[in-house]
């Protein structure tokens, strides 16, 4: 997946330095300034060692990046293995060629409660980013997804039709946030929503893909 359109949104793999810098700025706004989960930087950009060999997906509205996430491949060391090893209990991560980790999932605060009006219904803006993530994963034959999320976000994912399971007990972090390590699969998502919410699944599978040449034009 390079780029695709959905209503007024543009969803794409972030390729250029400018696009990636936008993502680092958005991450700083959310994780440093708003949540305080990472230190603030003078350049207002949130970056770490995992950004060297990652893939980032972004959601644009009116040429402004409003949401993004980061993907770590199975050939890399996951954050869940290193930074969050203490909350994993005795669980052992099983890395296969179709296993990835999603990190740095964030949405700009001023659009976080927005919804997307589609031919298949109204969906929260975060689901547009999930749709971009889904299509990237299916295009690259990835299925199993590890993540570390707050307990609130974990419940929200399941409520919105993104089934995921905890792999270890929830842990209260030093900042007071209750976090847990979780696993999900797109195969389970498809099976669940083919019965529970076929409109959501149809929307995820419906997109107008562009190539980079079309985008530049």
| pLDDT value at residue 208 | 62
Residue 189 tokens, joined: 């998502």
Give the pairing of strands 178-185 and 164-166.
antiparallel
Q: Is residue 74 part of a domain?
A: yes
Q: Is residue 212 part of a domain?
A: no
Q: Is residue 170 part of a domain?
A: yes
| pLDDT value at residue 129 | 95
- Output b/e per residue, 43-58; b: 16+ Cβ within 10 A: eebbbeebbeebbbbb
Q: Where are the alpha helices (DSSP H) in 44-197?
A: 79-82, 125-139, 151-159, 186-196
Quote the pTM value. 0.90
Angle subtended by helix axes 125-139 and 198-205, to nearest 10: 60
**Which domain range does residue 192 map to?**
3-206
Q: Is residue 215 part of a domain?
A: no
Q: Per the structure, how many domains does the chain have?
A: 1
**Residue 12 maps to which CATH number?**
3.40.630.30
Q: Is residue 14 part of a domain?
A: yes
Q: Where are the alpha helices (DSSP H) in the chain?
A: 17-27, 79-82, 125-139, 151-159, 186-196, 198-205, 212-216
Q: Is residue 217 part of a domain?
A: no
Q: E strands, 1-142, where?
A: 3-6, 9-13, 55-61, 64-72, 99-107, 115-118, 121-124
Q: Is residue 19 part of a domain?
A: yes
Cα distances from 55 to residues 16, 68, 170, 171, 189, in angstroms, run 12, 11, 28, 28, 22
Which residue, among 81, 214, 105, has the nearest Cα to 162 in the 3D structure? 105
SS3 191: helix
- Output b/e per residue, 21-33; b: 16+ Cβ within 10 A: ebbbebbbbbbbe
Contact 3, 12 (CB under 8 A): yes
Print pLDDT tens along the chain (217 aa): 444 456 678 899 999 999 999 999 999 999 999 988 888 999 999 999 999 999 999 999 988 999 999 999 999 999 999 888 888 888 889 899 999 999 999 999 999 999 988 889 989 999 999 999 999 999 999 999 999 999 999 999 999 999 999 998 888 877 788 889 999 999 999 999 999 999 999 999 987 654 433 343 3
Give the whole-angstrom CA distance, residue 185 versus residue 70: 17
| pLDDT value at residue 84 | 87
């Amino acid at each position: 997946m390079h780029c695709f359109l959905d209503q007024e949104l543009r969803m794409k793999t972030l390729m250029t330095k400018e696009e990636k810098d936008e993502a680092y700025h958005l991450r700083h706004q959310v994780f440093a300034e708003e949540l305080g989960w990472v230190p603030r930087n003078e350049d207002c950009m949130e970056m770490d060692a995992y950004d060297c060999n990652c893939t980032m997906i972004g959601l644009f509205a009116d040429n402004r990046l409003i949401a993004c996430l980061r993907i770590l491949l199975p050939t890399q060391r996951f954050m869940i293995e290193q930074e969050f090893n203490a909350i994993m209990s005795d669980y052992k991560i099983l890395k296969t060629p179709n296993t990835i980790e999603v990190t740095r999932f964030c949405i700009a605060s001023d659009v976080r409660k927005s919804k997307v009006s589609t031919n298949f219904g109204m969906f929260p803006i975060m689901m547009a980013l999930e749709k971009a993530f889904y299509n990237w994963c299916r295009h690259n034959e990835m299925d199993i997804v590890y993540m570390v999320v707050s307990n609130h976000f974990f419940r929200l994912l399941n409520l919105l039709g993104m089934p995921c399971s905890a792999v270890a007990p929830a842990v209260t972090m030093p900042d007071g946030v209750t976090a847990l390590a979780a696993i999900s699969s797109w195969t389970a998502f498809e099976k669940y929503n083919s019965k529970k919410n076929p409109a959501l699944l149809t929307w995820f599978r419906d997109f107008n893909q562009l190539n980079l040449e079309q985008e530049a034009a």
